[in-house]
Amino acid sequence: MSTETKSLPGVAEVLDIIKSNDVKVIDLKFCDLLGQWQHFSLTAKEFTGEIFEEGMGFDGSSIRGFQKIHESDMILFPDPSSAFLDPFTQVPTLSLTCDIADPITRESYARDPRNVAKRAENYLKSSGIADTAFFGPEPEFFILDHIRYDQSHHFGYYYIDSEEGFWNSGSNGTQNLGHKPRYKEGYFPTSPIDTLQDLRTDMVLTLEAVGINVEVHHHEVATAGQTEIDMRRDTLTKMADNFLVYKYVTKNVAKKHGKTVTFMAKPIYGDNGSGMHVHQSLWKGGKPLFSGNGYAGLSEMALYYIGGILKHAPALCAISNPTTNSYKRLVPGYEAPVNLAYSQRNRSAAVRIPMYSSNPKAKRIEFRCPDPMCNPYLAFAAMMMAGIDGIINKIHPGNPLDKDIYDMPPEELRDVPSTPGSLEEALNALADDHEFMLRGDVFSEDLIKTWIEYKMAKEVKPMQLRPHPYEFVLYYDV
């Protein structure tokens, strides 16, 4: 797990890439508050090196969580180090990720998620604790064949399908060759049960072609095409950049194969949901800081980092598990760690210390609660700030829990704190506990207030107002 960084393109290199690859279109991408890429494009004739200094204007009032209509003008500054040739466009297109600024003051926009991640990295360096935070997320997702959903005043439904889905074991509509992975048994038999090897390989090779290093890919536990592709770790902001490229690539490769990808945490009832375990470690001067002589080979700093994560986990969940659907996954019994404890090897703990290697450079902690619907810039920054708070305040995580939490008797389990049971509960926890995120102006009160208000108004309350299909099963004939 080398810490060496490859040379990234600058402005001159980007202009050379455009010329040498006969690029016709430059696509400018940026991240909205909720974590989705937005973009607009201009032709190579209109694109000059001055744009990197002067920026490009856009309407911030049309972007979720950004500006109001009377203060809508914003400006984008492309980051030359983010350049890659888009593998999905018909004409040669160069993709550039952008930072957002105020057009008058030219100051970085406080609600720009990428700017939050950059401020987090700057704060880490200024703290003197470390100079680098490495992140290695493990996103899970489903590759499906069909999706239908709709909601109106008098009906609401969803219907998903996959040729791999075990519910299709009795299908008689077309030729049925069997070999469907049973519920919770998709981890990880070979073909013909695993039908997605070639498709996942296409995703991996495409990721590598755009500059993202991949460690491994495989079928995941659930039936119906649940998948995991793991990227090699990188620094905080760079990994958040990579995760948005990852989503873009996996979704578009699936589309090319006539399939569709969802990163929803719990799209299928009665089987495992999709999480995103996040490996993280701190380094200084090229040396790992989490390796030591303590429990599971951890340093005292690493234990304090874990203490910060566990203490602030309810508030973190509002950002790392940011949807109402997230809490359909965070329930006992499906390998989703709802109990806030730590352990070596134990996958039922919220924080796990992987024990695959004795190399100090591989020593890290793994926060297992998050899911891939999060905004990676905000989620990684919030996790690091919680860990730093643990280090500053020497928050010890207590004794490890080296047993199967799901088999513990109720009287023992009562003393183990748990994650919030709903998005509303998590948002309330964030409202009460976010001072640790404000250090170094990494997050702002305005961003946190906007996040809470948006989520409550656009997601929590609308869900509470609508009848659920299962309520008809339970109550129609009462």
Mean pLDDT of all residues in 300-318: 98
- pLDDT at residue 332, as a whole number: 74
- Mean pLDDT (the chain) is 93
- pLDDT at residue 5, as a whole number: 45
pLDDT at residue 1 tops 70:
no
CB atoms within 10 A of CB 1: 15
- pLDDT at residue 2, as a whole number: 39
Q: How confident is the model at residue 103 (pLDDT cuts 50, 70, 90)?
A: confident
Q: Is the pLDDT higher at 456 or at 62? A: 456
What pTM does this model have? Answer: 0.95
- pLDDT at residue 99, as a whole number: 97
Q: How confident is the model at residue 4 (pLDDT cuts 50, 70, 90)?
A: very low
**What's the number of CA atoms in the CB half-sphere (13 Å) around residue 323?**
19
Question: Tens of pLDDT along 394-416?
Answer: 999 999 988 776 677 878 878 88
Mean pLDDT of all residues in 110-133: 97
pLDDT at residue 69 tops 70:
no
Q: Is the pLDDT higher at 405 or at 117? A: 117
- pLDDT at residue 8, as a whole number: 74
- pLDDT at residue 125, as a whole number: 98
Q: Which residues are catalytic?
A: 59, 138, 140, 220, 228, 277, 347, 366, 368
- pLDDT at residue 334, as a whole number: 62
Question: Tens of pLDDT along 256-306?
Answer: 999 999 999 999 999 999 999 999 999 999 999 999 999 999 999 999 999
Residue 228: strand pairing partners: 140, 218
Percent of the chain whose pLDDT exceeds 90 = 84
Percent of the chain whose pLDDT exceeds 70 = 97
Q: Please give the Cα distance from 243 to 113 (Å, whole number).
A: 13
Question: Tens of pLDDT along 341-399?
Answer: 999 977 778 999 998 888 999 999 999 999 999 999 999 999 999 999 999 999 999 99
